[in-house]
């Protein structure tokens, strides 16, 4: 079965292109019944309030919650992390509906607004040990959330050190060198505050695909032409930069 990518809003094209680069077919999910035909699901980054409104409009929440409850692998990136969290803070007035399932609290815009977006090299030793390659990953944080608290079943895959001056939200009282959680795993749920689909490093996608393999056979991407083939231009780091801070 192919990997589903929730395609209401945000970087779903980029996820499908990233899956394609590792030879896996990704399909757009816009209707509840389409979830029956996929082994696993990626909820992309974008704008979680907008995505939630669209999901509500299409009556997707019950099916998404059922998908999570069935134990099928789901990976939320950025806004997708917010979707999966049991609790979110920093929401717009009136809040927003969440899929939930991931036992954590996230802050929606922990690192500030669009202009506080940044890139960093983030060490993720467990994932590098499984997937090979260098120990750290290029991480693109766009108006990124962060995980404030995790439950006992949640494994922290990556955190970054930040100074309090880097936190824009005055309600956050981070002390110098606070560790902020930016990637977690809980059973079949994976969540990252950043956007691996915007980098050329496909190890996060292959890691997620391997989580799905236990459940169902993954369909290989066909070699025929696809509208996703030419989307390499989305990638931020075709040319590796050397001047990035390393967060450890
Ligand atoms: N790049 C992103 O997905 C940003 C998410 C954004 N902070 C939100 O609330 O939805």
Whose tokens are 């922990």? That residue is 110
Alpha-carbon torsion (77, 185, 244, 171), positive or negative: positive
**Ligand 1 pocket test, candidate residues 12, 46, 114, 199, most atoms within 8 A of CB:** 46
Structure tokens at 7: 């395609």
The pTM assigned to this predicted structure is: 0.85
pLDDT for 101-128, tens place per residue?
A: 999 999 999 988 888 899 999 999 999 9
pLDDT computed for residue 220 by the predictor: 67
Residue 94: predicted pLDDT: 73
Atom of ligand 1 nearest to the CA of 50: 10
**Angle subtended at Cα 200 by Cα 193 and Cα 222, rounded to the nearest 5 degrees:** 105
pLDDT digits (tens, 9 = 90+) for 217-226: 556 665 443 4
Question: What amino acid positions are annotated as catalytic residues?
Answer: 78, 195, 197
pLDDT (tens digit per residue) in 145-195:
999 999 999 999 999 988 654 555 556 665 557 889 999 999 999 999 999
pLDDT band at 245 (very low <50, low <70, confident <90, very high): very low
Q: 114 C-alpha vs ligand 1 centroid, how far in Å? A: 9
Among the atoms of ligand 1, which is closest to the Cα of residue 142? 1
- Decide which of 220 and 134 is more confident: 134
> Computed over its alpha carbons, how large is the radius of gyration of the chain?
17
CB 121 within 8 A of CB 244: yes
Share of the chain above pLDDT 90, in %: 71
Burial of 206: CB neighbours in 10 Å, binned 0-12, 13-18, 19+: buried
């Amino acid at each position: 079965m192919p990997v589903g990518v929730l395609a209401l809003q945000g970087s779903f094209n980029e996820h499908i292109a990233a899956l394609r680069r590792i030879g896996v077919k990704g399909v757009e999910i816009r209707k509840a019944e389409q979830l029956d035909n996929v082994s696993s699901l990626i909820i992309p980054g974008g704008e979680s309030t907008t995505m939630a409104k669209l999901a509500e409009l299409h009556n997707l929440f019950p099916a998404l919650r059922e998908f999570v409850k069935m134990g099928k692998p789901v990976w939320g990136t950025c806004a997708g992390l917010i979707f999966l969290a049991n609790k979110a803070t920093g929401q717009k007035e009136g809040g927003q509906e969440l899929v939930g399932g991931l036992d954590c609290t996230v802050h929606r815009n922990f690192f500030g607004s669009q202009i506080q977006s940044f890139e960093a090299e983030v060490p993720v030793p467990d994932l590098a040990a499984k997937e090979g390659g260098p120990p750290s990953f290029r991480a693109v944080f766009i108006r990124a959330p962060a995980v404030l608290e995790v439950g006992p079943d949640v494994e922290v895959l990556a955190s970054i050190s930040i100074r309090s001056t880097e936190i824009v939200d005055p309600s956050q009282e981070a002390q110098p060198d606070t560790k902020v959680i930016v990637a977690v795993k809980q059973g079949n749920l994976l969540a990252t505050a950043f956007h691996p689909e915007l980098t050329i490093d496909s190890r996060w996608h292959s890691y997620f695909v391997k989580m799905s393999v236990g459940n169902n056979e993954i369909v290989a991407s066909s070699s025929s032409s696809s509208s996703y083939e030419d989307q390499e231009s989305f990638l931020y780091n075709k040319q590796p930069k050397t001047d990035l801070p390393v967060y450890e």
